[in-house]
């Protein structure tokens, strides 16, 4: 099996590549990444000598470069993680989000149509559903929940999802989509909540929390997400969407206080800053479909996963973030 993993030098993509190399040493894994600020090639130092791993620096919007990789590698599967992924940056500059997240997805799928593929898998997000009210805790996102994104980031991801389903319906492209909740774990760029708070706390810098910090996210350990994608690309039904989430809702402020406690830092470092424009209040995933169809469930308990994650950043950053 030959798998092209786009955006593989980012947070979830790199964890997925390590997962696949370990689970399927006989597979050939090609990481295709533009290496934006969020991509880090040094992550792969330990596998660069592996004959079954190749790194290609390319932009998913670059048709010639993508065609070349398809001709050289003849992939069976493409898993598309490549994206601009930070909501705050999308509010500042939506254009690059539309370009990479929508046009890049179309470019990849065009190559899949041209050269043939067993499966194109789109890594999407629960943010395409918009947000849930705080006062209806039983309400969860299912695959039937209407798409209702709030930010330029989530709109671009939603547009890409619609395009993926359109390529399935129109051209019969064998696609699948996963929509996952917030991930945490190793190799995340320190602009996202958990690594940012760890990075700042380590050097006693203020811990900026939007508004009161009451926004709720459903946190999933990154390896559990990687296992879900592994199952979907091997056994998931073509043309289907699978929600992936941990039934693990936490307020942002809870997470930040937990990090202070684990690092032995005072909560007085927490500084409340002006809320994000259009900030989604609550996300919560119903993962019944992937559980019933593919037997997936989250294995990592949050209490263990967050400790493991903090330990990882401590080991890799020491007292100062990378
Ligand atoms: N982080 C989360 O909690 C989360 C949750 C659900 C879904 N997702 C989705 O998972 C995917 C990966 O997220 P992440 O957190 O690992 O993101 P990330 O920002 O850490 O990594 C994105 C990677 O894509 C690469 N990239 C960006 N533009 C590119 C382009 N034009 N061509 C090729 N490569 C390009 C970057 O260099 C980087 O390596 C995204 O599609 C995101 O929407 C993320």
First to last CA, the chain: 35
Phi, psi of 116 (to 5 degrees): 90, 145
In a domain, 150, yes or no: yes
User: Is the predicted pLDDT of residue 321 greater than 90, yes or no?
Assistant: no
Ligand 1 within 6 A of 122 CB?
A: no
Nearest Cα to 309, choosing from 174, 232, 196, 156? 196
Structure tokens at 123: 């890594």
In a domain, 311, yes or no: no
Number of domains into which the chain is organized = 1
Rounded to 10 degrees, the C-alpha dihedral 213/196/125/128 comes to 50
Pairing of strands 220-221, 53-57: unpaired
In a domain, 207, yes or no: no
In a domain, 278, yes or no: no
Structural domain for 64, as ranges:
2-188+220-246+286-299
Side-chain half-sphere of 204: how many Cα atoms within 13 Å?
1
Residues 141 and 310: their CA atoms lie apart, in Å, by: 29
Q: What is the pLDDT of residues 52-81, one digit of tens each?
A: 999 999 999 999 999 999 999 999 999 999
Ligand 1 within 6 A of 150 CB?
A: no
Return the best residue to mutate from 19, 78, 80, 82 for the ligand 1 pocket (most ligand atoms within 8 A of CB): 82
Within a 10 A sphere around the Cβ of 195, how many other Cβ atoms? 25
What band does 322 get if pLDDT is binned at 50, 70 and 90?
A: very low
In a domain, 273, yes or no: no
Q: What is the pLDDT of residues 184-217, one digit of tens each?
A: 999 999 999 999 999 999 999 999 999 999 999 9
In a domain, 276, yes or no: no
Ligand 1 within 6 A of 59 CB?
A: yes
- Annotated catalytic residue 127: yes
Residues 239 and 234: their CA atoms lie apart, in Å, by: 14
Distance 83 CA to ligand 1 centre (A): 4
Span 147-156, mean pLDDT? 98
- Annotated catalytic residue 242: no
- Annotated catalytic residue 138: no
In a domain, 96, yes or no: yes
Q: What is the CATH number of the domain that holds 102?
A: 3.40.50.720
In a domain, 257, yes or no: no
């Amino acid at each position: 099996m030959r798998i092209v993993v786009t955006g593989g030098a980012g947070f979830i993509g790199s964890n997925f590549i390590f997962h696949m190399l370990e689970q399927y040493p006989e597979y050939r894994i090609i990481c295709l990444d533009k290496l934006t600020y969020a991509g880090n090639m040094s992550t792969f130092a330990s596998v660069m000598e592996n004959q079954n791993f190749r790194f290609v620096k390319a932009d998913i919007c670059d048709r010639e470069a993508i065609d070349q990789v398809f001709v050289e590698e003849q992939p069976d599967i493409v898993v598309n993680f490549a994206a601009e992924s930070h909501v705050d940056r999308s509010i500042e500059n939506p254009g690059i989000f539309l370009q990479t997240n929508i046009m890049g997805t179309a470019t990849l799928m065009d190559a899949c149509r041209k050269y043939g593929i067993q499966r194109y898998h789109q890594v999407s997000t629960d943010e395409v559903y918009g947000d849930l009210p705080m006062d209806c805790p039983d309400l969860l996102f299912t695959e039937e929940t209407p798409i209702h994104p709030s930010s330029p980031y989530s709109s671009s991801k939603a547009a890409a999802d619609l395009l993926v389903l359109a390529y399935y319906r129109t051209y019969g492209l064998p696609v699948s989509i996963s929509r996952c909740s917030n991930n945490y774990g190793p190799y995340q760029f320190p602009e996202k909540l958990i690594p940012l708070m760890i990075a700042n706390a380590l050097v006693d810098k203020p811990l900026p929390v939007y508004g009161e910090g009451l926004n709720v996210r459903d946190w999933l350990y990154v390896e559990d997400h990687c296992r879900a994608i592994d199952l979907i690309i091997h056994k998931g039904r073509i043309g289907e969407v699978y929600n992936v989430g941990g039934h693990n809702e936490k307020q942002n402020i809870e997470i930040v206080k937990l990090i202070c406690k684990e690092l032995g830092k005072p909560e007085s470092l927490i500084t409340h800053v002006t809320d994000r424009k259009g900030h989604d209040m609550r996300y919560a995933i119903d993962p019944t479909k992937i559980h019933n169809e593919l037997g997936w469930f989250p294995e990592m308990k949050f209490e263990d996963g967050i400790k493991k994650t903090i330990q990882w950043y401590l080991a890799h950053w020491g007292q100062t973030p990378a």
